[in-house]
Structure 1
Amino acid sequence: MKTIALGVFGFFIMVSCSQKPTQSMNQSSVKTYPVQKMAAKDVELHTVFPTVLQGEIDIEIKPRIDGFIEAVYVDEGSIVKKGQVLFEINSPVSEQNLETAEANYNTARLDVERMRPLADKGIISNVLLQTYENAFSSAEAAYESAKATLSWTKVKSPVDGIVGTLPFRLGSLVNSSSVLTSVANTQHVVAYFSMNEKELLQYMRSWEGDTQAEKIKNMPSVKLMLADGSEYEHEGRIETISGVVDVNTGSVNFRAVFDNPNGLLRSGTSGQVIIPRTMKDVFLIPQKSTFSQQNKVLVFKYEDGKAKQKVISVKSTPNGQYYAVLDGLKGGDQIITDGVSTLKDGMEIQIQ
């Protein structure tokens, strides 16, 4: 009997000794992760919209008569003044029309000069004289019109600006549909861009004012990112918002204007308009604390000693390192900020 008792006692000692290392091993296998507790703050976010820049005045130059280019007085990129001659057109048809109109004018004038004395003497009636005078008036108007038409052989710039490309050269046959070049006034540059209905509503609610005009007036200045990724030194202003939503794209068009005193911006170049927006009482989290799954952004929350997945709605901050959380978290929540790639939903963890 004593032998059995000792055996049982020894068995419990062996079991007890074998369990202690296992418990210790389980505790040491639980990894530790850093966490961040959610606390709301005000954050300035930037929304970026692609754009193509245009001169505030950007005009296509077309001839008003048919003919051959006889002279080109400017080169691409030339700075021109309003009224400056850009091209000269050789128009044989216009010259012929002028010669014909001049001849008809002279004939009608001589007829009136010859018939007026006869009417004064009563040899012909005043009605017949009036017919000649009417013919003279018509011939005179046709002559003046032909002279004006021939003046169109000199193609002039309608505005101050910079000359665009020159697709036609000396000797080219052109007509009223031919675009000889363009002249852009780029003292101020216009940037057109669009945003969808959801973004528009968010912005309209955040801008002060009762009417659209008041909201436009109270909008913050916008910035322009150039094609090389640099930020343009002058800020711009939004001037107009279209009153109609495009039914095909569901977007609304905006127009922003930027000063261009040094001529750095050119018509036709691309860029990105940046609109700032201050969001109040949002949570700011590092982007590295998130991961993507089926086009959704998720984080791991720390709850009851475990990591639990949570879908969130976010907006990137200007520096690209943080997200502003728009939905999915509440004050006091703790999220794991590093090492999320090693986590699984429901995994037991420890926190720092």
Structure 2
Amino acid sequence: MLSRKLPIAVVSVLAVALGACSDDGKQQQGGAQMPPPQVGVITLEKQTVPITTTLPARAVAYRSAEVRPQVTGIITEKAFKDGAFVKAGDLLYQIEQDTYEANLAQAQASLDKANATVPGLEANYERYKRIVNQGATEIQLTDAQTSYEQALADVESAKAAVKTAEINLGHTDITAPFDGVLGVSNISIGNLASPSSSSALVSLNQLDPIYVDMYESAAQVLSASGKYPDFKSEQDLSGVKVVVKLDDGSDYSVAGHLDVSERTVNESTGTVNLRAVFDNPDNVLLPGMFVRATLTVAEEEGFLIPQLAAQIEAGGKVSAMFVTSDNKVETRIFQNVKVSNNAWLVTDKVSDGDRLIVDGFQRLVGGVTDVTPVPVKINEEGVVVDADSGSGASSGSSSGGDASGSSASGGNG
């Protein structure tokens, strides 16, 4: 009997011990409960901000010319170095002048000859007018008048020939039509230059100022509800500011302005050409260079949500996460948003003082609703930093904006 009772006693003791351990575990677990996770927030304020759009673009020469000869002759001088900058009127090529100088001399001699005949014929005509019907017939008077007027016409013809010869002689000096940079010469000294040649002598491009051509969807430009409703009417477009980012990611230091908006749509691409003009004193922008152009098309009041704090939803909607007054996470979806540099501009569902989450999204997985908001800011490099110290926040989120909400593209993931 004893051998059967002992195991029962042992089991009872173990059960009591396990129950005590379970109670201690619950107390320890309760005592070590994790606090709400920290998230970085910025406080939103209503402000007037630019409405922008970024478009693919390409630099185009302000003026471009293919320099061609207007007379035929042998090239006797090439007065420039390939790729050189030239001023309007600078000599580029010299065509052999001997033939054209001779043509001018011949034309001048013909003019002198024509002028020499005029006084005698004029005197003869005046004499016949005095003696008509008194020793001279009407026919003689008519013949004298005809000879005189023909001499005058010969003089005008000779003057025109002289002018033509002077023009042709002048065309033997081939000069730059405007300031610009030359290409590579297609002809050398000793070769025959001719207006009928299929190739130009050299190309010339004016780089300062310079155009930047942008291509926008026709639906955006031409729609009454698009970004550019005013572009359909005649107006001064110089107030539309344009900045460009170069192919290496750097910003071009000079801002330009919109110069012209085309009123036709490219049939193959469905886009409208917008053209801006930029000062280019250092020739940083070169014809054919591809850039990204950002246009400031308007200004509007609203709240800026950095793109690093936003998520693009289906249908083009934008969502962002906020911290409520009782420190709970709240997701808001915005239907009507506009682009302002690298941020979204919203006009509803936000009030002054609302706290937007911009950092710590990785701590919100698993349905976390309670959080501890920590004020942060976004520096000029687009990095989320502590509001006081200026050091980088834990997540190291970055964008291209400032504490007001401008940032680079990217979602909260």
Larger Rg, first or second structure (1 or 2): 2
1:50 aligns with 2:56: yes
1:159 aligns with 2:183: no
> Normalising by the residue count of structure 2, what TM-score does the alignment of the two structures yield?
0.55
Q: 2:218, 2:347 → 1: CA distance? A: 19
Structure 2 CA distance for partners of 1:65 and 1:242, relative to 1, 3 Å:
same
Q: 1:313, 1:124 → 2: CA distance? A: 90
Show the counterpart of 2:242: 222
Aligned pairs (5 A) from 1:14-25: none
Secondary structure of the equivalent of 1:179? coil
Unaligned stretches of 5+ in structure 2?
1-21, 129-139, 372-413
Deviations, residues 99-140 of structure 1 (Å, cap 9, x unaligned): 796498279649937984995798994156347523454344
The alpha-carbon deviation at position 234 of structure 1 amounts to 2.3
Secondary structure of the equivalent of 2:69? coil
Structure 2 CA distance for partners of 1:37 and 1:222, relative to 1, 3 Å:
closer
Show the counterpart of 2:147: 129
* Residue from 227, 230, 235 that aligns with 1:213: 235
Structure 2 CA distance for partners of 1:312 and 1:338, relative to 1, 3 Å:
farther
Aligned pairs (5 A) from 1:136-151: 137-151=156-170
Q: 1:144, 1:293 → 2: CA distance? A: 74
Show the counterpart of 1:287: 308
Secondary structure of the equivalent of 2:227? helix
Q: 1:308, 1:138 → 2: CA distance? A: 89
Q: 2:358, 2:164 → 1: CA distance? A: 82
Bigger relative contact order, structure 1 or 2 (CA pairs below 8 A, ≥6 apart): 1
1:236 aligns with 2:242: no
Q: 2:178, 2:188 → 1: CA distance? A: 22
Show the counterpart of 2:277: 257
Q: 1:85, 1:254 → 2: CA distance? A: 36
Q: Which has the higher strand share?
A: 1
> Normalising by the residue count of structure 1, what TM-score does the alignment of the two structures yield?
0.62
Aligned pairs (5 A) from 1:1-352: 41-42=46-47, 44=50, 46-90=52-96, 95=100, 98=103, 102=107, 105=110, 109=114, 112=117, 116=121, 119=124, 125-127=143-145, 129-130=147-148, 133=151, 134-135=153-154, 137-176=156-195, 178-200=199-221, 202-204=226-228, 213=235, 216=237, 218-219=239-240, 221-246=241-266, 248-260=268-280, 262-270=281-289, 271-276=291-296, 278=299, 280-282=301-303, 284=305, 286-287=307-308, 290=311, 318=341, 324=344, 351-352=370-371
**Amino acid paired to 1:196:** S
Q: Contact 2:82–2:183 at 8 Å: present in 1 too? A: yes
Q: Contact 1:101–1:139 at 8 Å: present in 2 too? A: no
Q: Identity across aligned pairs (percent)?
A: 18
Structure 2 CA distance for partners of 1:202 and 1:87, relative to 1, 3 Å:
same
Q: Does 171-180 or 224-233 show the bigger shift?
A: 171-180
How many residue pairs are counted as aligned between the two chains?
331
The alpha-carbon deviation at position 301 of structure 1 amounts to 10
RMSD value over aligned CA atoms? Answer: 5.8
Q: Contact 2:242–2:258 at 8 Å: present in 1 too? A: yes
**Amino acid paired to 2:182:** V
Structure 2 CA distance for partners of 1:308 and 1:53, relative to 1, 3 Å:
closer
Secondary structure of the equivalent of 1:171? coil
**Amino acid paired to 1:190:** Y
Q: Does 290-299 or 129-138 show the bigger shift?
A: 290-299
Deviations, residues 134-158 of structure 1 (Å, cap 9, x unaligned): 3454344234313322321111222
Structure 2 CA distance for partners of 1:293 and 1:336, relative to 1, 3 Å:
farther
Deviations, residues 66-122 of structure 1 (Å, cap 9, x unaligned): 333321111234333332221112489x64992796498279649937984995798
Unaligned stretches of 5+ in structure 1?
1-17
Structure 2 CA distance for partners of 1:103 and 1:212, relative to 1, 3 Å:
closer
